[in-house]
Amino acid sequence: MALLNDQLKDQIVVVIGGTSGIGLATAVLAEEGGANVWAASRSADKIAACAAAHPAIHFEQLDTHDVAGLKALFDKVGPVSHIVGAATGADRTMAPFMEQTDEQFREAFNKFWGYTNVVRQGVPQLLANGSITLVSGTPARKCNPGMSSVSCTGNAVEGLTRALALELAPIRVNAVAPGIIDTGMFDRFGDKKAAALENMGKNMLLGRVGLASEVAQAIILLMGNPYMTGTTIDVDGGALLP
C-alpha cells in the first residue's frame, strides 16, 4: 500500500493561506508528495519570498473575502482534487468577552466567513472524490479566559465541517485543530519568541509546542485517506486532556 502522501501524486491541491505557517507547510509537503500545488495568500511580500524558495508551487495573491478573486483562481486551476483552508482572514482580539467591543468579537468570525467563501467558490471545481480540509484550533473545545471569540469561531468551523460532510458527500470534508504551534503568530514576541515558546511548551505533555509540519502531516492524512469525512483531528500535544 502506498504511503498517504504518495496518493497525492499528480493530484491538484489548492491551499488558501499557503504562504506561511501551517498552510505553507502543507503546500510544501503536498508538493513533495507529487501533487500539483497552488497556494494563495493576501500578502504580496510573502508570495514573492515563497515563490523564490519553492518554485514548483504556483503562488497567487488573493484574500478569502475576495469572492470574485476566489472564483477566478478556481476557474484558472480547473478540476481540483483537494482544497485546504488555512487562512486566518481576521484580526483576533485576545481579551475577556466583556472587555471586547462588538466589532472586535465579530471580526474574529471573518475567518469563518472566509472559509465559507472558499468552499462556495471551490466546490464547483472540486472532483467528486476530492476533499476539503479546514483549520480550527483547540480553543474550540478547551477555551482559556480571553479567547472567547477564537473559541466560538473554532466551534463554527468544526460545525461547518460536519454539516458540509453531510451535504457535499461523496466529497469529503474534514478539519484539523492545532494546539500551540510555532508559527508567525508568535513573531510579536520578537527576539523573545524562542524563550516564550519554550516556556509554553513546558506545560505540554510532550514538553514542547508543535511544529507547522506536524499539523501539515495531519492535513495530508485527511487528503489522502478516502474513508475519512466529518472528522476533526487534534494535533495539540495532548492539550485537550484534563
Instruction: Catalogue the active-site residues.
Output: 136
Backbone angles phi, psi at 156, to 5 degrees: -65, -40
Burial of 72 (0-12, 13-18, 19+ CB in 10 A): middle
Distances (CA, A) of 47 to 68, 87, 180, 241: 20, 14, 25, 37
- No. of H helices and E strands in the chain? 8, 9
Q: Which amino acid is at 141?
A: R
- Contacts (Cβ under 8 Å, ≥6 apart) of 229: 131, 165, 169, 172, 173, 174
